[in-house]
Amino acid sequence: MFNFNIEFFGYFAAILTTLAFLPQLIKTLRTKKAEDVSLLTLIMFLTGVFSWIIYGYKISSTPILSANIITFILNLLILIFKITFSKY
Amino acid sequence: MFNFNIEFFGYFAAILTTLAFLPQLIKTLRTKKAEDVSLLTLIMFLTGVFSWIIYGYKISSTPILSANIITFILNLLILIFKITFSKY
């Protein structure tokens, strides 16, 4: 029961910190701008998340691997759209 | 040597995904606006990071605990300044 609670917080945390970037992606697509979103934050965060993917692969952790792959894709799309929209 | 490499990726990942929010905080303070930053993303992310803090505390993991406390503070400040600046 105690273990269940610990695991629950871990999964809840992983799901939230992963899906949190979906509203940012939707907002960026809807407003067609992400001027206020820091480019350096996106680059540092993507590099960090990519390192988590390598770490998750090396220690064979499916939760770390899967959560970070989704986070990476969402943030890469935010970066791509930020750059695309900034040209106009 | 192999273990050193694994640990290196873990620490490198943790440092980058934590400090990544510092440029966003500086940019928000400098431009005095964070209109394009999604409020829902910040709320979901803060809730997720808070859950990571509880998880880190429960499993007695100092790296998870410390990295997420810093991430929480940085994002809470971004949220506070976003709300403050949106009033003008």
CATH code, B35: 1.20.1280.290
**Mind listing the pLDDT tens digit for each residue in A13-23?**
999 999 999 99
Q: Please enumerate, as own/partner, the contacts of B76-81 that have beta carbons within 8 Å and a separation of 24 or more.
A: B76/B46, B77/B25, B78/B21, B78/B24, B78/B25, B78/B28, B78/B34, B78/B37, B78/B42, B79/B39, B79/B42, B79/B43, B79/B46, B81/B25, B81/B28, B81/B29, B81/B34
Q: How far does the CA of residue A77 sit from the closest CA of chain B (Å)?
A: 15
ipTM: 0.90
Give the one of A26, A40, A52 whose C-beta lies nearest to B23's C-beta.
Answer: A40
- Which residues of B make CB contacts under 8 Å with A? 5-6, 9-10, 12-24, 26-28, 31, 33-38, 40-42, 44-45, 47-49, 51-52, 54-55, 58-59
Query: What pTM was computed for the model?
Result: 0.91
Domain count, chain A: 1
**Mind listing the pLDDT tens digit for each residue in B32-65?**
999 999 999 999 999 999 999 999 999 999 988 9
Range of the domain at A61: 2-86
Give the one of A9, A49, A55 whose C-beta lies nearest to B54's C-beta.
Answer: A9
